[in-house]
């Protein structure tokens, strides 16, 4: 009947026809323009045939020939539509609505068989049929909110009329794939089937509907009726909207349009959905969030490419059982790579094992792990005080104290005990990889492997290439990081590597603002309003003032012009006053518990006084000027890291900041932020603050881009 590149229509048993999604040459089925066109053509054939009296077609089954049903619209292609004028974008959406409504008005029962995943537009297609049968391990959902948009092909209307509206709103607000059992319980799935029985169960239900044993028209009516308790929906939506972050417009819009179209007839409700969609599609947040999805795909591709070249890592080892070493041991063992955990003191080893055990207990409490699995993971960590068992180790992560001499001696020592092919990787956060490479006899097999604290939560691992590091070493280290469930980014050696190098101009700018008389509580409020999880003063307390001062010296030596000599005047003064930050309860803020045991954080008068004693100006700045003063040095350093070849792509630079620092996702990263402002506007703002030091100097590469109008994405 119809054979396309992505869609096949064939006649099966008893007057049933089947639409099979199977995008040729693609890893997954997406509803790209080819698939949508072919779906339309195939549905037209069905509709034309069924309009003829005595048509043989009695029912329609939609299925997939791939391991997953459909993962959604093709994001890259769909995003390109966002540049269209509103009216044209709305017209495109209306065409998709028309296709789904065409399916919904066929004169016989229709059913979708879902295997694997039905997400976004794929799930919206499934919602347009009368019935849905899912495999028990299938997942369905509407993840569009993660992209800064919302379902644009009728999902906000159909789902909120097929299940209770509160659940429908939760599905759309969280964007999470939902279990098949939940879909069945809520009524958006009609049957569940074992993996190998999906087709049989689907055809049985479809045949029952064809035979009139199940009323398919009732399902259609349910979708087309306005929501009964629409006034309660409006009240619920208004209440929920108050708790949402205004920096992310999509969840707010979802609540608004569901509340608006709840009481409307079906076709008018679709129009409300379409009108609201175009506003969101053009938002900066949508551009940034879709950009992050595409960045993530790039990082996955690069990690897969490295991993393909890598020799396997069957046995690893970590030197140092402290917070980082214990975290590496836990992460390695809990993702299936057995690891030796070496230290020089029994107590340290005990602490490392207890840390891992505590993390596993938390997994058990959450019902994600059994006691037996916990023991298996702990069995994958072999504590040791010697190198005796290092003869079959494939990679060693050095995570001893942040002291160059100690690291150098430990690396030289362990190298004698491991196979000649083993990789040595240092978890150092501030010491030059090239410098440490001088302590080993096989520098080509040495690199950096910088985890972020806490290791089990922070996704990023910087894999740092020294000047002599071989590709094999990088490949093996990337493969091991990926096997640990981490996101590796390969960077070249320089002070601070990628993330800390970009972070320090931000801290230096903060220091400059304090000396210019701006209050640190206000700076924190402004930067948290910008979207950072913590303002710079709070972040400094969490990182640790001593750590900050130490790292700042490394950055000052590395980049004397930009990273200034007054970069840490305030932090050094806090350190002198024994204000170490959260670790000893006082830094910029004081931390403790009040008489009711409630934690408090309040500005430290001592900190305020020592800042006042060092203040050299009293500038009156607007909030936007504070944001510019903080963000411009960070963005320029990211630009410089790209120009200096520390990182290969804007995507990797931005993902490093998102994953390593918690850079606000809706802003997409430092280089995305420059693009959002526009290079000219960014340059104008940098010019405004030139007098506050070299941190605001435009880089040569930036100037070239500015002259050519070449954005970062
Ligand atoms: N568009 C294009 N390619 C996609 C894609 C998509 N939506 N989803 C996955 N891919 C590709 C991906 O690039 C990779 O390709 C391969 O599939 C495997 O992906 C109108 C507007 C589905 C959970 O947001 O969340 O529908 O690199 O490596 O880890 O209302 O991909 O192998 O060449 O990530 O197993 C809504 C996005 C779209 C789902 C699978 N849908 N995708 O994860 O594999 S908007 C989504 C994912 C929409 C409508 C709206 C994940 C996954 P390659 P992968 P995975």
Statement: residue 296 has pLDDT above 70: yes
Position 173 scores a pLDDT of 96
Distance CA 183, CA 189 (A): 5
The residue whose CA has the least distance to atom 3 of ligand 1 is: 74
Ligand 1 contact via 305 beta carbon (within 6 Å): no
From the CB of residue 590, how many other CB atoms can be counted at a distance below 10 Å? 17
Residue with CA nearest ligand 1 atom 1: 74
Rounded to whole angstroms, the Cα distance separating 627 from 624 reads: 5
pLDDT at 232: 86
Q: Is the pLDDT of residue 260 over 70?
A: yes
The contacts of residue 426 (CB under 8 Å, 6+ apart) are 397, 398, 407, 411, 433, 436, 446, 447, 448, 449
0.90 exceeded by pTM = yes
Ligand 1 atom having least distance to the Cα of 293: 37
For residue 461, list its beta bridge partners: 451, 488
3-state secondary structure of 461: strand
SS3 call for 270: helix
Interval between CA 297 and ligand 1 midpoint (Å): 9
Alpha-carbon separation of residue 687 from 609, 632, 640, 690, 700 (angstroms): 32, 10, 17, 5, 15
Mutation probe of ligand 1 site: the residue of 74, 75, 99, 487 with most atoms within 8 A of C-beta? 75
What crossing angle do the helices spanning 249-261 and 230-242 adopt, rounded to 10°? 170
71 ligand 1 Cβ < 6 A: yes
Tell me the C-alpha distance between 200 and 19, whole Å. 16
Tell me how crowded residue 266 is: count the other CB atoms within 10 A of its CB: 18
What is the Å distance from ligand 1's center to 271 Cα?
A: 27
Q: What angle do CA 102, 107, 111 make, to 5 degrees?
A: 75
Q: Do residues 479 and 307 lie in contact, with contact meaning Cβ atoms separated by under 8 Å? A: yes
Q: What is the DSSP letter of 419?
A: -
Backbone angles phi, psi at 240, to 5 degrees: -65, -35
297 lines ligand 1 (CB under 6 A): yes
* Distance (Å) from CA 81 to ligand 1 centroid: 17
pLDDT value at residue 185: 97
Q: Is 72 in the pocket of ligand 1 (CB under 6 A)?
A: yes
**Averaged pLDDT for residues 194-203:** 95
Q: ipTM more than 0.90? A: yes
Residue whose Cα lies nearest atom 33 of ligand 1: it is 27
Task: Give the distance between the most distant pair of CA atoms in the chain.
Answer: 93
Beta pairing partners, 138: none
Among protein residues, the one with the nearest Cα to ligand 1's atom 32 is 27
The model's pLDDT over 424-478, given as tens digits with 9 standing for 90+, comes to: 999 999 899 999 999 999 999 999 999 999 999 999 999 999 999 999 999 999 9
Which pLDDT tens digit goes with each residue over 16-51?
999 999 999 999 999 999 999 999 999 999 998 877
Rounded-to-integer distance, Cα 580 and Cα 561, Å: 27
Distance between Cα 256 and ligand 1 center (Å): 27
Mean pLDDT, rounded, for 330-334:
96
In whole angstroms, what is the distance from residue 96 CA to residue 709 CA?
Answer: 36
Question: Omega before 454 cis (within 30°)?
Answer: yes
CA 86 to chain CA centroid, nearest Å: 29
Distance from C-alpha of 230 to C-alpha of 160, rounded to nearest angstrom? 11
- Backbone φ and ψ for 450, nearest 5 degrees, come out as -95, 105
Give percent of the chain with pLDDT exceeding 90: 86
**Residue 20: φ, ψ to 5°:** -110, 125
pLDDT, tens only, 212-241: 999 999 889 888 888 878 888 888 888 888
For the cut 80, the answer to whether the pLDDT of residue 566 exceeds it is no
How far is the CA of 233 from the CAs of 114, 157, 160, 169, in angstroms? 30, 13, 10, 10
Tell me the C-alpha distance between 352 and 132, whole Å: 49
Averaged pLDDT, 180-199? 96
Compute the distance between CA of residue 228 and CA of residue 561 in angstroms, rounded to an integer: 67
**Hey, whose CA ends up nearest to atom 8 of ligand 1?**
71
Model confidence at 195, pLDDT cuts 50, 70, 90, reads confident
pLDDT in tens, 567-584: 789 999 999 999 999 999
Per-residue model confidence (pLDDT) at position 578: 97
Among 72, 76, 142, 276, residue to substitute to test ligand 1 (most atoms within 8 Å of Cβ): 72
Q: Can you read off the two tokens belonging to residue 42?
A: 């195939």
DSSP 8-class letter at 31? B
CA of 674 to the centre of ligand 1 (A): 27
Residue 695 CA, ligand 1 centroid: distance in Å: 39
Quick one: which atom of ligand 1 is closest to the CA of 175?
A: 24
Q: Which long-range contacts (CB under 8 A, 24 or more apart) does 205-209 make?
A: 205/111, 205/131, 205/133, 206/16, 206/59, 206/61, 206/109, 206/111, 206/131, 207/14, 207/16, 207/59, 209/59, 209/109, 209/111, 209/130, 209/131
Tokens of 530: 């910008």
Residue 665: predicted pLDDT:
97
Q: What positions carry a catalytic annotation?
A: 450
Ligand 1 atom closest to 146 (CA): 24
What is the C-alpha to C-alpha distance for residues 170 and 79, in angstroms, rounded to an integer? Answer: 24
Q: Distance from the CA of 71 to the center of ligand 1, in angstroms?
A: 6
Cβ of 152 less than 6 Å from ligand 1: yes
Alpha carbon 57 to chain centroid distance? 46
Ligand 1 in reach of 175 Cβ (< 6 A):
no
Residue listed under structure tokens 């995305």: 672
Centre of ligand 1 to C-alpha 652, Å, is: 19
Whether residue 564 has pLDDT greater than 90: no
Distance CA(405)–CA(129), nearest Å, equals 68
| CA 680, 682, 685, 686 torsion-angle sign | negative
Nearest to 676 by CA among 654, 659, 708, 696: 654
Report angle CA 162, 163, 168 to the nearest 5 degrees.
Answer: 110
CA atoms of 122 and 151, how far apart (whole Å): 10
Whether the per-residue pLDDT at 141 is higher than 70: the answer is yes
Distance separating the N- and C-terminal Cα atoms of the chain:
43
pLDDT reported for residue 413? 96
The minimum-distance atom of ligand 1 relative to the CA of 28 is: 17
> Cβ distance 478 to 303 under 8 Å?
yes
Sign of CA dihedral 651, 656, 659, 665: negative
Counting atoms of ligand 1 from 1, which one is nearest the CA of 296?
A: 34
Which mutation among 66, 71, 127, 257 tests ligand 1's pocket best, with the greatest number of atoms within 8 A of CB?
A: 71
**Minimum-distance ligand 1 atom for the alpha carbon of 124:** 30
Residue 530 beta carbon below 6 angstroms from any ligand 1 atom: no
| Parallel/antiparallel/unpaired status of strands 423-426 and 446-451 | parallel
- Rounded distance from Cα 72 to ligand 1 centre (Å): 7
Please write the tens of the pLDDT for every residue from 365-423. 999 899 999 999 999 999 999 999 999 999 999 999 989 999 999 999 999 999 999 99
Neighbouring residues of 460: CB distance < 8 A, sequence distance ≥ 6 = 452, 486, 487, 489, 499, 655, 656, 659, 660
Cα 277–chain centre separation: 23
- Ligand 1 pocket test, candidate residues 28, 66, 116, most atoms within 8 A of CB: 28
Q: How many residues would you count in the chain?
A: 713
Distance 208 CA to ligand 1 centre (A): 34
Q: What is the C-alpha separation between 564 and 98, in angstroms, rounded? A: 62
Q: What is the DSSP letter of 582?
A: G
C-alpha 92 to ligand 1 mean position (Å): 21
Angle at which helices 650-661 and 623-643 pack, to 10 degrees? 130
Which is the closest atom of ligand 1 to the Cα of 152?
30
Cα separation of 22 and 32, whole Å? 12
Q: What is the DSSP string of 102-135?
A: HHHT-SS-EEEEE-SEEETHHHHHHHHSSEEEEE
Ligand 1 pocket residue status of 75, Cβ below 6 Å: yes
Other CB atoms within a 10 A radius of the CB of residue 418 amount to 21
Q: Of ligand 1's atoms, which has the minimum distance to the CA of residue 78?
A: 21
pLDDT for residue 589: 98
Structure tokens at 519: 């209050």
Is the pLDDT score of 565 beyond 70? no
Protein residue with its CA nearest to atom 22 in ligand 1: 71
Residue nearest to atom 40 of ligand 1 (CA): 71
Q: Whose CA is nearest to atom 2 of ligand 1?
A: 74
- pLDDT recorded at residue 532: 97
Percent of the chain with pLDDT strictly greater than 70? 99
The total of other beta-carbon atoms located within 10 Å of residue 465's CB is 20
Q: Which domains does the chain have, with CATH numbers?
A: 2-282 (3.90.226.10), 313-491 (3.40.50.720), 500-708 (1.10.1040.50)
Q: Is the CB of 80 within 6 Å of ligand 1?
A: no
145 C-alpha to center of ligand 1: Å? 14
**pLDDT at 348 exceeding the cut of 80:** yes
Distance CA 524, CA 534 (A): 7
User: Residue 35 is inside which H or E element, if any?
Assistant: helix 33-50
Q: Which residue minimizes the CA distance to atom 39 of ligand 1?
A: 71
């Amino acid at each position: 009947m119809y054979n396309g590149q992505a869609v096949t229509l064939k006649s099966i048993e008893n007057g049933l026809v089947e639409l099979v999604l199977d995008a040729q040459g693609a890893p997954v089925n997406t509803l790209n323009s080819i698939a949508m066109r072919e779906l339309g053509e195939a549905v037209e054939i069905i509709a034309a045939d069924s309009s003829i009296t005595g048509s043989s077609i009695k029912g329609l089954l939609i299925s997939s020939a791939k391991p997953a049903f459909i993962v959604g619209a093709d994001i890259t292609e769909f995003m390109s539509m966002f540049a269209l004028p509103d009216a044209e974008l709305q017209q495109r959406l209306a065409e998709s609505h028309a296709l789904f409504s065409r399916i919904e008005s066929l004169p016989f029962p229709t059913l979708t068989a879902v295997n694997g995943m039905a997400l976004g537009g794929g799930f919206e297609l499934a919602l347009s049929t009368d019935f849905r049968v899912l495999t028990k391990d299938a997942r369905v959902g509407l993840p569009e909110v993660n992209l800064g948009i919302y379902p644009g092909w009728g999902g906000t209307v159909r789902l909120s009329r097929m299940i209770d509206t509160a659940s429908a709103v939760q599905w759309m607000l969280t964007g999470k794939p939902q279990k098949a059992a939940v879909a069945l319980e809520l009524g958006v799935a009609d049957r569940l089937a074992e993996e190998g029985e999906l087709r049989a169960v689907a055809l049985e239900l479809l045949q029952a509907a064809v035979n009139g044993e199940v009323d398919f028209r009732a399902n259609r009516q349910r979708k087309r009726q306005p929501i009964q308790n629409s006034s309660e929906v409006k009240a619920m939506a208004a209440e929920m909207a108050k708790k949402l972050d205004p920096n992310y417009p999509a969840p707010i819009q979802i609540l608004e349009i569901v509340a608006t179209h709840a009481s409307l007839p079906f076709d008018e409700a679709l129009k409300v959905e379409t009108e609201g969609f175009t506003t969101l599609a053009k938002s900066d947040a949508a551009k940034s969030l879709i950009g992050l999805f595409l960045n993530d795909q790039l990082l996955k591709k690069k990690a897969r490419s490295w991993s393909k070249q890598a020799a396997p890592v069957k046995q690893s080892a970590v030197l140092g059982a402290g917070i980082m070493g214990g975290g590496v041991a836990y992460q390695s063992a809990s993702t299936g790579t057995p690891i030796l955990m070496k230290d020089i003191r029994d107590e340290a080893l005990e602490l490392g094992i207890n840390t891992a055990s505590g993390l596993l207990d938390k997994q058990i409490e959450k019902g994600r792990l059994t006691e037996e699995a916990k023991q298996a993971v702990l069995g994958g960590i072999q504590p040791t005080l010697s190198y005796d068992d290092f003869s079959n180790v494939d990679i060693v992560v050095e995570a001893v104290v942040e002291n160059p001499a100690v690291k150098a001696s430990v690396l030289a020592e362990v190298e004698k005990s491991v196979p000649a092919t083993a990789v040595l990787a240092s978890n150092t956060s501030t010491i030059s990889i090239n410098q440490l490479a001088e302590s080993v006899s096989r520098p080509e097999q040495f690199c950096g492997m910088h985890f972020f604290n806490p290791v089990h939560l922070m996704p990023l691992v910087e894999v740092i290439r020294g000047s002599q590091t071989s590709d094999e070493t990088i490949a093996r280290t990337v493969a091991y990081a990926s096997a640990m469930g981490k996101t590796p980014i390969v960077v070249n050696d320089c002070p601070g590597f990628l993330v800390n190098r970009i972070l320090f101009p931000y801290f230096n700018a903060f220091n400059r603002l304090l000396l210019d008389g701006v209050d640190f509580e206000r700076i924190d409020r402004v930067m948290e309003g910008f979207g950072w999880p913590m303002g710079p003063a709070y972040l400094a307390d969490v990182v640790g003032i001593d750590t900050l001062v130490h790292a700042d010296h490394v950055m000052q030596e590395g980049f004397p012009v930009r990273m200034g000599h007054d970069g840490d005047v305030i932090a050094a003064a806090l350190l002198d006053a024994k204000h170490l930050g959260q670790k000893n309860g006082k830094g910029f803020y004081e931390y403790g518990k009040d008489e009711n045991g409630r934690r408090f954080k309040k500005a430290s008068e001592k900190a305020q006084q020592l800042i006042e004693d060092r203040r050299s100006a009293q500038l009156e700045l607007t909030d936007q000027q504070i944001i510019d003063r903080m963000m411009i040095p960070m963005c320029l350093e990211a630009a410089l890291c790209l120009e200096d070849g520390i990182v290969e792509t804007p995507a990797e630079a931005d993902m490093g900041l998102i994953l390593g620092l918690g850079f606000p996702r809706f802003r997409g990263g430092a280089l995305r932020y420059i693009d959002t402002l526009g290079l000219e506007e960014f340059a104008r703002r940098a010019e405004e603050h030139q007098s506050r030091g070299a941190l605001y100097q435009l880089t040569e590469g930036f100037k070239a881009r500015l002259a050519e109008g070449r954005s970062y994405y």
